[in-house]
A and B are shown apart, each in its own frame.
Chain A
């Protein structure tokens, strides 16, 4: 599989010795939907800025589609699309004017651009609103427009910084669908940051957990969850019976705990093992009183790899780091 983004020992130190990104390495494969997950101030936006040529690299190396980010910035710029965190659509222009402007900036020929603009507007359901000033759009509509403005030059990679920040739950789900569609149907490799665990879980093929400038873990959401030992099936039997050996013999089981008539079974994928477990229990003439299955969440993973709660209040240190970084963004 082709690697679209390659990052090696990337470090960014802002003036004042603030280490925003600390020696990170990762690859993004072609066609992936790669998520960068971490709390505010973790270094996500800085990483995007480094990869999109908006900030200079202190040390390490990054390539996008084979182009060195610091040596061939213009080659990188031509081949990527960006959906920034801020709403950067021009309010005082119409929807289609915003996209046509982007088309001109990327030198897309007029007749090609017109067709693409129609298709893209259709894709995100903005055809009817295209001729209206963006100042009349709702937050969700603006975000949808923002998604397609970055696509008019048909980039191979799309960088999205917190694509659903500040949107309500319904709108967020709609945006997720569009992101999936762009990724699968338009075959755009997507690199996105998010501080919503459920977003990384729902959308991404691969996610990296970043905290205080360092990548703490990476893999598919499934793999990440396995870091904390996989899923847990809890079975309560109608009467006490020793099934320890049977449960341990099932494929994928890592640990079996017994507490009276209740068993806790830790394993990789619960769904796959449940039929075998149930059949085995009945075959041994035992009845099940209750069965439940708990899947680890990325919250638990985050706790495991960073040693702190994801949703805890921003520490004073993280807050001041973030302030410094924002101040430097200018």
Chain B
């Protein structure tokens, strides 16, 4: 199973690298999001500046960041964890895309007529998508750091914190890629896939703490946002960025949640796929 999964994953990645437009968009889009959301929608700029002197305004902004945004030095710093989570959600959403095309062009039949493990068809798409998401997320992370007045890491931030951030994002991506690959397993049309992705993506995003803190939401939405895996990933990432050299116990709950999320969806998605690929 490993040889086959690896061979098929490499196929996906080769095809990805050979389509520069898709690589470019995967990198460019989240950067635009950071720039746009971080600047245009910066909630601390929403208070009318005429109500107080500039010194008082600065204080008000600082206290908003302190209270609402968990002591982030600026909104972009708060936002980065959210945008990284969102980037992985969006790349995962189309993890089943190549399956739909393979089914359409008859390639899937050729795979099914070969003595490969059915799970490798599922796992190869999932792993390839995780790679396709993780590479841009690394680049976005460093890009956010280099923007003027951009992402500011806590001075005590260590390499371990960095690794934990990417472990968090990896788990999120693994879970969502499994979910979306399994959904696409029996689809014959791109249109159906796009419809499902559109149906799920934005609600998943807005019912999470990716862009705004949970406390600013009504109670019913808070209830959803608190169990949304995107919130868990965004919060954990954010805690690591803002506080640095974190005591592992603070994010342990989030990490455990994400490990369970990834494990359950990978296993369930794999089983669902094997059933979906059975001969009629």
Residues of chain A at the chain B interface (Cβ within 8 Å): 14-15, 52-56, 73-74, 77-78, 80, 82, 84-88, 90, 92-93, 97, 101-102, 104-107, 133, 328, 330
Cα–Cα, bound, A53→B113 (Å): 6
Cα–Cα, bound, A63→B4 (Å): 26
Size bracket, chain B contacts: 20 to 34
Residues of A within 8 A of B142 (CB): none
Give 1 or 0 for each of B1-35: 1 = CB within 8 Å of chain A CB: 00110111001001100110000000000000000
Cα–Cα, bound, A14→B280 (Å): 8
Give 1 or 0 for each of B99-118: 1 = CB within 8 Å of chain A CB: 00001011101111111100
Q: How far is the CB of A133 from chain B (nearest CB, A)?
A: 8
- Is A86 within 8 A of B3, CB to CB? no
In the complex formed, the residue of B with least CB distance to A80 is B113
- Is A90 within 8 A of B11, CB to CB? yes
Number of A-B contacts (CB under 8 A): 70
Residues of A within 8 A of B103 (CB): 330
- Is B113 within 8 A of A82, CB to CB? yes
Residues of A within 8 A of B7 (CB): 101, 104-105
- Taking A88-B106, A106-B115 as given, write out 14 further A-B residue pairs in contact, using a Cβ cutoff of 8 Å, ordered by the A residue number: A52-B113, A53-B112, A80-B113, A82-B110, A82-B113, A85-B106, A87-B106, A88-B109, A90-B15, A97-B14, A101-B11, A105-B7, A105-B116, A107-B3
In the complex formed, the residue of A with least CB distance to B107 is A88
Q: How far is the CB of A17 from chain B (nearest CB, A)?
A: 14
Whether a CB of chain A sits under 8 angstroms from the CB of B226 is no
In order of increasing CB-CB distance, the 7 nearest A-B pairs are A86-B106, A104-B7, A77-B115, A92-B15, A78-B115, A88-B106, A52-B113
Which secondary structure dominates where chain A touches chain B?
loop
Cα–Cα, bound, A10→B143 (Å): 63
Residues of A within 8 A of B110 (CB): 82, 84, 88
Residues of chain B at the chain A interface (Cβ within 8 Å): 3-4, 6-8, 11, 14-15, 18-19, 103, 105-107, 109-116, 186, 188, 279-280
Q: How far is the CB of A67 from chain B (nearest CB, A)?
A: 11
- Is B11 within 8 A of A93, CB to CB? yes
Cα–Cα, bound, A133→B18 (Å): 10
With A56-B280, A107-B3 as given contacts, are A92 and B116 in contact (CB-CB < 8 Å)? no
Cα–Cα, bound, A107→B4 (Å): 8
In the complex formed, the residue of A with least CB distance to B11 is A101
- Is A54 within 8 A of B14, CB to CB? no
Residues of B within 8 A of A92 (CB): 14-15, 18-19
The listed residue (B3, B6, B19, B105) touching A88 by CB distance below 8 A is B105
- Is A86 within 8 A of B105, CB to CB? yes
Q: How far is the CB of A255 from chain B (nearest CB, A)?
A: 48
With A56-B280, A92-B19 as given contacts, are A74 and B188 in contact (CB-CB < 8 Å)? no
The interface centre, meaning the residue of A56, A97, A106, A330 with most chain B CB atoms within 10 A of its CB, is: A330
